[in-house]
Amino acid sequence: MTMLTGQRLTIGTLLRVFRGRIVLTWAMILAETSLMALIPLFIGFAIDGLLAGALQELWTLTGIMAALIVVAVIRRVYDTRIYGTVRVELGLEQAARSAALPVSALNARLGMGRELVDFLEHTLPEAMAAAVQLVIAVVVLYAFAPTLALAGGAAALAMVLIYALFHHRFYRLNGALNQQVEKQVSVLEGRKTRPIRAHLMQLRRHEVRLSDAEAVLYGAIFIVLLGLIVFNLWFATTRLEITVGTIFSIISYSWEFVESALALPVTLQSWSRLSEIMRRLNAGGRCPRDGPLTSPVS
C-alpha cells in the first residue's frame, strides 16, 4: 500500500495527496518571486537616490536582496526532500499497478512518472513565479504609463493564441515518442544491430519533429516579444518626461515581462506532454495507442 493506492496517477492527485507540503514550498516560491520582482524597481530608486546624494534607497535595496537570499536557500533545501518523497511514492505505486507490463514498458513509464513530479518541482513553480513577475511588471508599467501595460497584455494574448495552434500537434508528437520509448528495453535485449538502429532512428525522427515544431513556435513568440521591447523603449524615451532611473525601471520591467512570458509556452508545452503521459500511466497493463486529445487532471 502507498499513499496513492486506488487513485488515478495525475497532477491533480499528487497535489491533493501532498497538498500540505506543496503549499508550503509554493508559499516560499511566491515570497522569493515577489522579492525578485521588486529589485529592478528599487534599483531605479537607488540610482535616483545616489544621484541626489541619498543612501536610504540603497540600503532598502540591500535589505530586499538579503531577504531574497535567505528565502531562496531555505526553499531549495526543502524542495529536494519533499519532491524526493513524492517520486518514491509514485514509483512504488506504478510498479505495483504495472506488474503485467513488459519490463521495457514499465521502465519507460517509471521515467515518465518522474516527469509528473518534475513538473510540480520545476515547471509549475517557474510558471507561478513567472505569473507573479508578469503581474508586478504590468502593474509597475501601468503606473508609469497605461500604454506600456496594454502593450504587454496584447503580447501575452498573442502568445496564448499562437500556442493554441500548436497544442494538438505537441500532444500527438509526444504520444508517438513515448510509444517508441516503451519499446527500448525489449529492443536492446535482442542485442541485434539492425533493430537497435531502427529503434534509434525512430526516436530521432520523433525528436526532430518535436524540435521543428518548437522552433516554429518560439520563433513566432520571439517576434511578438521583440515588438513589445521595441515599442516600450520607443514610447518611454519619446512620449514620457522621466528620469534616468525611471527609464531604467521601464526597460527592466519590459524585459522582465519578456522573460516571464517565455515561461507560458514552456508550461503549456509541458502540459501537452504530461496529458499524454497521464493517459498512458492510467491505462494499467495496456500500452495505449494515441487516442483523443484529453487533459486529465483529477
Q: Are 35 and 67 in contact (CB under 8 A)?
A: yes
The closest of 89, 84, 112 to 283, measured between CA atoms, is 112
Find how far residue 138's CA is from the centre of its chain: 20
Number of folded domains in the chain? Answer: 1
Residues sharing a CB contact under 8 Å with residue 199, sequence separation 6 or more, in sequence order: 180, 183, 184, 187
Residues of the domain holding 115: 11-281
Residue 158 lies in a domain: yes
Residue 175 domain flag: yes
6: in domain: no
Q: Is 290 contained in some domain?
A: no
Lowest-confidence pick of 2-11, 138-147, 148-157:
2-11
CATH code, domain with 181? 1.20.1560.10
The tens digit of pLDDT for each residue in 6-52 reads 888 888 889 999 999 899 998 998 898 888 878 888 888 888 888 88
Q: In angstroms, rounded to a whole number, what is the distance separating the alpha carbons of residues 84 and 6?
A: 21
Would you say residue 273 lies in a domain? yes
Identify whether 295 is part of a domain.
Answer: no
Which residue type, as a one-letter code, is found at position 189?
A: E
Residue 294 sits at φ, ψ, to 5 deg, of: -135, 165
In this prediction the pTM is: 0.67
Contact (CB, 8 A) for 94 and 109: yes
In a domain, 144, yes or no: yes
% of the chain residues with pLDDT over 90? 15
The per-residue pLDDT for 130 is: 83
Q: What is the dihedral of CA 35, 36, 38, 39, to 10 degrees?
A: 120
Q: For 125, list phi and psi in degrees, rounded to 5.
A: -60, -40
Is 227 inside a domain boundary? yes
Cell (9 digits) for 35 = 522579492
